[in-house]
C-alpha cells in the first residue's frame, strides 16, 4: 500500500478507526496494535499472508505474536474447529478435550505434573503468585526489573523503570504506575537481570517474607536477553534452599524449545505459566 493511500482520509482503515474511537478508548482494546495515525485493519489471512481492508496483501511476520504457529486459516485446524463447533463448544460441564490437552502438556513438559487452564497469561501469573503465597504463608514476591508479566498489579510493578526512578544496581527501586495502589511496592522486591550475587543478597535479605521469585527465562521486554551462564541455576538452588517458590513465566518464552524454556536451560521451576501454544 502506498503511503498516500494509507493516509487518505477516505480510506477504509481511517473509516474503521473513526468508528472504533467512538466505542473504545483510544480506538482499540489491544495496546500492541496502536499506530500513528491509525492501524491498518485486517480483513482475512491465509498461511503467512494477511489481506487488509484496502485489499493489499502482505507477509505476516508476527502471526498474532507467534500464537498462530501454523499460520492463518490452516486447513487442518479449520477442519478440526469446524467439526467441534457443530457439537457445541461452551458447556457448564467438563469435556474430554480438557483432559486430552492436559495429558499432552504433562507428557510434553518435565515441570508440569498437573495443569490448570486460565483465560489469559495475566490470569495464569496471578494464580501462580496466589498459589505460592498460599503454600508458603508469605506475601512478598521478587521479580526482575523491566520484565513484563501481564496486567496484574504485583506482576506489573517495575516493568517500565527509567533512569530517573530505577535506583541503584544493588538496590533497585520498585516503580509503580499511577494507577496502582501506592503501598503495593512494599510487597514487591525488584531484582537486576543477570546479576546473581546481587539477586542472591536481595532474596536472602527478605527470605522470611518472600513467597516467590518470578522469572521470564528469555525476557522479551529486555530485548530477549539470554540468562548468563549459571544465573538460572543460582536462582534455582537458592530458592529451593530458602523454601521460596520459583515461578517461570513462559507465556512468551515457552516456544524456544518443544518442552519449554525451563527445559532448554536445564531448570525445573516449581510453577510455570504458558500461553500462545
The residues annotated as belonging to the active site are: 148, 249, 276
Cis preceding linkage at 248, omega within 30 = no
- Cβ-contact 167, 145 below 8 angstroms: no
Distances from the Cα of 222 to the Cα of 179, 227, 273, angstroms: 23, 11, 19
Cell digits of residue 271: 510453577
Whose grid coordinates read 473504545? 24
Supply φ then ψ for residue 51, to 5 degrees.
Answer: -110, 125
C-alpha span between 212 and 242 (Å, rounded)? 10
Per-residue DSSP letters for 114-175?
S----SSHHHHHHHHHHHHHHHH---EEEEETT----S-HHHHTTTT--TTTSEETTEE---
Amino acid at each position: 500500500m502506498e503511503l498516500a493511500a494509507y493516509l487518505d482520509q477516505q480510506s477504509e482503515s481511517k473509516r474503521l478507526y473513526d468508528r472504533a474511537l467512538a466505542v473504545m478508548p483510544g480506538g482499540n482494546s489491544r495496546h500492541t496494535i496502536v499506530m500513528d495515525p491509525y492501524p491498518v485493519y485486517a480483513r482475512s489471512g491465509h498461511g503467512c499472508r494477511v489481506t487488509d481492508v484496502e485489499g493489499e496483501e502482505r507477509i505476516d511476520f508476527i502471526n498474532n505474536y507467534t500464537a498462530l504457529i501454523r499460520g492463518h486459516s490452516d486447513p487442518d485446524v479449520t477442519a478440526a474447529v469446524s467439526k467441534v463447533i457443530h457439537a457445541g463448544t461452551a458447556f457448564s460441564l467438563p469435556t474430554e478435550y480438557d483432559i486430552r490437552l492436559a495429558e499432552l502438556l504433562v507428557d510434553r513438559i518435565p515441570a508440569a505434573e498437573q495443569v490448570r487452564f486460565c483465560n489469559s497469561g495475566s490470569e495464569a501469573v496471578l494464580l501462580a503468585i496466589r498459589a505460592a503465597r498460599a503454600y508458603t504463608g508469605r506475601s512478598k514476591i521478587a521479580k526482575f526489573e523491566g520484565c513484563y508479566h501481564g496486567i496484574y498489579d504485583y506482576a506489573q510493578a517495575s516493568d517500565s523503570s527509567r533512569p530517573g526512578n530505577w535506583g541503584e544496581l544493588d538496590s533497585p527501586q520498585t516503580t509503580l504506575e499511577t494507577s496502582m495502589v501506592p503501598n503495593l511496592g512494599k510487597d514487591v522486591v525488584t531484582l537486576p537481570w543477570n546479576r546473581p550475587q546481587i539477586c542472591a543478597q536481595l532474596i536472602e535479605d527478605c527470605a522470611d517474607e518472600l513467597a516467590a521469585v518470578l522469572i521470564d527465562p528469555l525476557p522479551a521486554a529486555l530485548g530477549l536477553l539470554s540468562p548468563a551462564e549459571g544465573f538460572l541455576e543460582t536462582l534455582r538452588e537458592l530458592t529451593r534452599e530458602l523454601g521460596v517458590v520459583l515461578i517461570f513465566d513462559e507465556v512468551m518464552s515457552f516456544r524456544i524449545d518443544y518442552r519449554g524454556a525451563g527445559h532448554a536451560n536445564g531448570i525445573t521451576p516449581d510453577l510455570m505459566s504458558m500461553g500462545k501454544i
